Each structure stands twice: as C-alpha cells, then as structure tokens.
Amino acid sequence: METFVHTRHHKILPQKRYNLKTLTVLFSTEKGTSMSSNVEIDTINLKIIRALQRDARANFADIAKDCGVSTDTISKRFRKMKQSGVIRGTTILLNPKSFGYECVGSLGIDVSYPHLRDVVESLRKMPEIVICATSMGKHDIFCIVITKNVGRLSQVKDLIKGHPAVREVTTSIWVDEILLCPENFEFKHLERR
C-alpha cells in the first residue's frame, strides 16, 4: 500500500472519516535542537521511541510495563523528550490513491545561489509539494511532489522551471511503495551505552 505524509502545511484531507494508520516520532532537525540537546537517549528512552514508532498511540502503561518502570516515569520522559525537541510530534500516513493522487515524485532543483531562500519559499507555497528542503550534493533543493497524474507533475515541473532563479529541474517518479517513516531510523550507535 502506498502512503504519504500529511504535513501541517498542506490540507488535502477531505472532511470525511478514513481508516488512517497512525505513525511515528519525528526527529528534530531545527537549529538549536537535536537528539543530544539535553536528554540522554538511554535504554528506556530508546524503548519509548521504538514503541511510539510502531504505534504513535501506544499506551504509556504498556510501554512502562515493557520497560519495567512506572507509567509516570514514561509520561515524564516523553514530555521531556518532546520539550527538548528530540520528539517533535506524531503524524499519520495516508494512502494518496484514496484521495485521487496517482503520482508521487522527487524533484532535484538547481538554482542561482543568492536566490536559494526565495525559491524555497515559493516552492513551499505550492500545494503539490509536500516536502521541500535545501540539500547538499547534486541539487540545491529537494522536493517530494504528490499530484493527480503524471501530466500534472509535468505542469508543476514547468511552473518551477519558470522561476527566474531556477536553472534546472530533474524529476523522478516513484514506482514502489512510499516509505517516509522514521521507523527505519538507526539507533545501534546509541544501544552500546
């Protein structure tokens, strides 16, 4: 089943009730917060994170039982990780086809350097772009785009190419299951503590 992340910037969920899979913990990448900010990721915190990755609505009492501590301890640790930016929140994954979105793609965008922020800001206003970030490597900006069809993806690409600071846009259409889930986030380096 294909899924995608619904972000707070894009309201594409119709006002109906759907069977939604709740998911995961998001990790902070904002300036000033990181996993090492002021919370030690010990075995208990790691178990809390793993449990919430499997089911973001997991009961703290069940997590506490698995960790061998009180529910209050789990609640306090969760609150501390959230306040420090280790845990940024929870989200849901949706099946884009349920909403008529047949095409998911990646865009690599090259821009004239002094205009990078301007281009990013204009891209983030486009409803089809669900993720947009500056990047290091082959392209200056990386975006994930969800559209009704390949034709609309082509139109979005042309709109972006029309920006005076955009030099090139490279498109890739996703054909496999969409997996944007931090459940695959690797913690082995923390488990040695």
- Report the CATH number that the domain containing residue 164 is assigned in CATH: 3.30.70.920
The reported pLDDT for the residue numbered 56 is 86
pTM above 0.75, yes or no: no
In a domain, 190, yes or no: no
User: In which domain, by residue range, is 55 found?
Assistant: 4-94
Residue 30 belongs to some domain of the structure: yes
pLDDT at 53: 85
**Torsion sign over Cα 116, 117, 122, 124:** positive
Residue 136 pairs with which residues in a beta bridge? none
Confidence at residue 183, expressed as pLDDT on a 0 to 100 scale = 52
Q: What is the pLDDT of residue 90?
A: 75
126 and 166 in a single domain? The answer is yes
Cα separation, 180 vs 135, in Å, equals 17
On whether both 30 and 84 belong to a single domain, the answer is yes
Of 71, 94, 117, the residue at which a domain comes to its end is 94
Residues 106 and 154 in one domain: yes
pLDDT of 177: 62
Answer yes or no: is 184 within a domain: no
Percent pLDDT > 90 in the chain is 55
Q: Which CATH number goes with the domain that contains 70? A: 1.10.10.10
Looking at residue 12, what is its pLDDT? 35
Contact partners, residue 33, CB within 8 Å, separation at least 6: 84, 85, 86
Query: CA angle, 29 as apex, 74 and 39 as ends, to 5°?
Result: 35
Domain count for the chain, please give it.
Answer: 2
Low-confidence ranges of the chain (pLDDT < 50): 1-36, 180, 182, 184, 193
Q: What is the pLDDT of residues 11-36, one digit of tens each?
A: 333 333 332 332 233 333 333 334 44
Domain-terminating residue out of 37, 70, 94:
94
Q: How far apart are CA 135 and CA 137, in angstroms?
A: 6
To the nearest whole number, what is the mean pLDDT of the chain? 78
